[in-house]
Amino acid sequence: MKKRVLKISIPLIIAGILIVSMLIFGVQAQDGAAKPYAEGEAGQTANAVTNQATQTLKPGEGIAGSSGSAHLDTANEELAVAGLSVLYRFTGVTDDGEQGSTNRKEATSIHCTNISATNTQVEVQLFQWNGTDIFTGTVNMPTNRSFTFSTQNTTIYFDDVLLGGSPGTPAIFQGSGRVLSSNPNVICTAQVLDPLNYPPLFVSGIDLFRQ
């Protein structure tokens, strides 16, 4: 009787051990597969934030361009502008900060046209990835006139206002912007593009959201 019990019990015990082992190794395998992914994501995000946080944004003067005016804002500059209302907001602004060099590869241009019957003041403000206000460009647009605001000089466009433009002004990392105007009858578009070549090696449109 004892031998018979042992014959039945031993296979059951072995089967139980195998099932428990499979469950343990399965959980470990899942943890092992998930862990590098989780660590990689956290590491990449932390590194990117750390590296960008070390960028020092120093107040200074931008280049006015062919018309209008522009300046590099201080961190405490008042964003609200008397007599102007926000028409558009947009995101995806980028600039390599290589103004004045032959190594320039990316810039952002914003184009606005005054379709009203009167002169209109238009202002473009750009913000860094962390929300810091960095560049502001302002121009008084005659009726039916189009103006281009660019983060640096471009070959394809006539850059009326350079939002930055001078060597040493900061690069823009995945920034955002807004267009303000004294008249709602202003239409705008925006692009990220190759600033050096004509035609550009790439042009990518940025969606503008009407406020």
Q: Which amino acid, 34?
A: A
- pTM for this predicted structure: 0.66
pLDDT confidence of residue 64: 39
Q: The tokens of 35 are what?
A: 């862990």
pLDDT confidence of residue 5: 45
154/171 Cα distance (integer angstroms):
16
pLDDT confidence of residue 152: 92
* Distances 62 to 52, 87, 99, 152, 206 between C-alpha atoms, Å: 21, 24, 11, 10, 23
- Taking alpha carbons only, the member of 49, 62, 122, 127 closest to residue 92 is 127
Instruction: Assign domain 69-210 one CATH number from 3.30.750.24, 2.60.290.11, 1.10.10.10, 3.40.50.1000.
Output: 2.60.290.11
pLDDT confidence of residue 101: 83
Q: Which amino acid, 133?
A: D
137/211 Cα distance (integer angstroms):
19
- Taking alpha carbons only, the member of 101, 115, 68, 113 closest to residue 169 is 101
What stretches in the chain show pLDDT beneath 50? 2, 5-6, 20, 22-65, 74-78
pLDDT digits (tens, 9 = 90+) for 93-120: 999 988 888 889 999 999 999 999 999 9
First-residue to last-residue Cα distance in the chain:
87
- Which residues make beta-bridge pairs with 113? 146, 187
Query: Omega of the bond prior to 59 within 30 degrees of 0, cis?
Result: no
Backbone angles phi, psi at 139, to 5 degrees: -150, 150
Domain boundaries, the chain: 1-54, 69-210
Q: The tokens of 209 are what?
A: 């959201």
Indicate the pairing of strand 186-193 with strand 203-206: antiparallel
